[in-house]
């Protein structure tokens, strides 16, 4: 047990260290390419910080622990929303991430909700469509892949139109990092990604050992322990983004990561001969619904124009935290 915990800790530290540099390079790439922080945060930064989920969960599936893998993906989305809510209390955000100032992210947030809903439907109906699973892939997973491609295109077109209509250059933060060359920024991004990919499988192995030795079960451990660890890059990169005033980069990272997490069900399904969503526990549906509910509260908070809000009643960070904690308690009870 001690060896597994030490291995888990070392791998988590490596992932955190790599994640600390991601925001610096992402911000430079956004500025050099002029694609904007929202788009870079939703796609490039989100995809990179989701690499732990991919490496960890492929390893888990190959070890025959599909519940740990699916629990990690869904639990990571829930953890990302918890991180967003907690950081919204920080002096760097001061409530901006769940206010009308972040309304531009409602589109990417809606995409993450739609993809999570598709995953929930797939979990609920998976066993009924086993005979209609091409190449052993759940039909819902294929639909998620197509929906993500469509959603990214919509977000890209929306951001391009918004940039053209505003015609106002974004003022860079006074304490931002020096401008890097595109080559330097991409190289740094690649090095961080490689470090995360190497540490990921060892993290999954340690989590699997802890799950067996603790007796908590793969569903709960995947939803909490592994999900929190693989969400560490999001935590570090979001905090770094807020410190330099890049709120769009931070929010885009959360919604983009949550959408990308659902897409990762596709490569996981390829590594298992059976339809993935048909063989895992229905307890994951609780995590799906909680993620959708918490995401909708965040989106409502971004569209809600009232500044002074009642805790736990009107959409704010407190309500998101309550939903996440309640969902984790329910998953533990069911497992």
Q: What is the distance of C-alpha 1 from the center of its chain?
A: 29
Mean pLDDT of the chain: 81
**pLDDT, position 295:** 94
**pLDDT, position 39:** 79
- CB 98 within 8 Å of CB 237: no
**pLDDT, position 32:** 83
Task: Tell me how far apart the alpha carbons of residues 189 and 126 are, in angstroms, rounded to a whole number.
Answer: 37
**pLDDT, position 163:** 67
Determine how many CB atoms are found less than 10 A away from the CB of residue 313. 9
Q: Kindly indicate the confidence band of residue 213, based on its pLDDT and cuts at 50, 70 and 90.
A: confident
Q: Kindly indicate the confidence band of residue 177, based on its pLDDT and cuts at 50, 70 and 90.
A: very low
**pLDDT, position 197:** 77
Assign 95 to helix, strand or coil.
Answer: coil
**pLDDT, position 303:** 84
Q: Kindly indicate the confidence band of residue 311, based on its pLDDT and cuts at 50, 70 and 90.
A: low
**pLDDT, position 54:** 83
Task: Tell me how far apart the alpha carbons of residues 247 and 81 are, in angstroms, rounded to a whole number.
Answer: 15
pLDDT digits (tens, 9 = 90+) for 100-118: 766 778 888 999 999 999 9
Q: Is 310 exposed, middle or buried (0-12, 13-18, 19+ CB in 10 A)?
A: exposed
Q: Kindly indicate the confidence band of residue 34, based on its pLDDT and cuts at 50, 70 and 90.
A: confident
Q: Is the pLDDT of residue 172 over 60?
A: no
pLDDT digits (tens, 9 = 90+) for 119-156: 999 999 877 877 777 888 889 999 999 999 999 999 88
Task: Tell me how far apart the alpha carbons of residues 44 and 37 are, in angstroms, rounded to a whole number.
Answer: 10
Q: Is the pLDDT of residue 259 over 90?
A: yes
For the chain, percent of residues with pLDDT exceeding 70: 84
- CB 241 within 8 Å of CB 40: no
Query: Which domains are delineated in the chain?
Result: 2-334 (1.20.1420.30)
- CB 278 within 8 Å of CB 129: yes
For residue 2 the two structure tokens come to 């001690």
Give, in order, the Cα–Cα distances in Å from 72 to each of 8, 89, 136, 229: 15, 26, 21, 9
Long-range contacts of 182-189 (CB under 8 A, 24+ apart): 182/28, 182/29, 182/32, 182/33, 184/28, 185/25, 185/28, 185/29, 185/32, 186/25, 186/29, 188/21, 188/24, 188/25, 189/22, 189/25, 189/26, 189/29, 189/44, 189/48
**pLDDT, position 166:** 60
For residue 48 the two structure tokens come to 């990179």
Residue 81, CB half-sphere, CA atoms under 13 Å: how many?
Answer: 36
**pLDDT, position 312:** 54
């Amino acid at each position: 047990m001690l060896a597994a915990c030490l291995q888990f800790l070392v791998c988590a530290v490596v992932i955190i260290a790599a994640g600390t540099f991601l925001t610096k390079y992402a911000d430079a790439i956004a500025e050099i390419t002029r694609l904007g922080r929202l788009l870079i945060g939703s796609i490039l930064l989100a995809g990179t910080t989701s690499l732990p989920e991919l490496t960890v969960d492929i390893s888990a599936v190959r070890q025959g622990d599909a519940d740990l893998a699916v629990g990690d993906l869904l639990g990571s989305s829930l953890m990302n929303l918890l991180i967003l809510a907690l950081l919204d209390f920080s002096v760097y955000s001061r409530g901006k991430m769940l206010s009308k100032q972040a309304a531009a992210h409602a589109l990417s947030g809606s995409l993450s909700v739609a993809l999570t809903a598709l995953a929930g439907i797939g979990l609920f109906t998976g066993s009924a469509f086993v005979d209609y699973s091409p190449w052993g892939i759940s039909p819902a997973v294929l639909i998620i892949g197509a929906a993500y491609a469509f959603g990214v295109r919509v977000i890209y077109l929306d951001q391009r139109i918004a940039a053209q209509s505003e015609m106002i250059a974004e003022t860079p933060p006074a304490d931002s990092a020096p401008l890097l060359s595109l080559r330097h920024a991409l190289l740094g991004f690649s090095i961080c990604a490689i470090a995360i990919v190497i540490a990921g499988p060892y993290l999954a192995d340690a989590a699997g050992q802890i799950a067996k030795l603790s007796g908590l079960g793969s569903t709960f451990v995947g939803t909490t322990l592994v999900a929190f660890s693989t969400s560490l890059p999001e935590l570090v990169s979001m905090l770094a983004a807020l410190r330099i005033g890049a709120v769009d980069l931070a929010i885009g990272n959360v919604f983009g990561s949550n959408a990308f997490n659902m897409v990762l069900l596709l490569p996981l399904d390829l590594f298992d001969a059976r339809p993935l969503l048909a063989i895992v526990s229905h307890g994951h549906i609780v995590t799906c619904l909680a993620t959708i509910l918490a995401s909708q509260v965040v989106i409502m908070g971004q569209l809600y124009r009232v500044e002074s809000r009642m805790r736990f009643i009107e959409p704010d960070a407190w309500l998101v935290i309550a939903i996440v904690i309640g969902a984790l308690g329910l998953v533990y009870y069911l497992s």
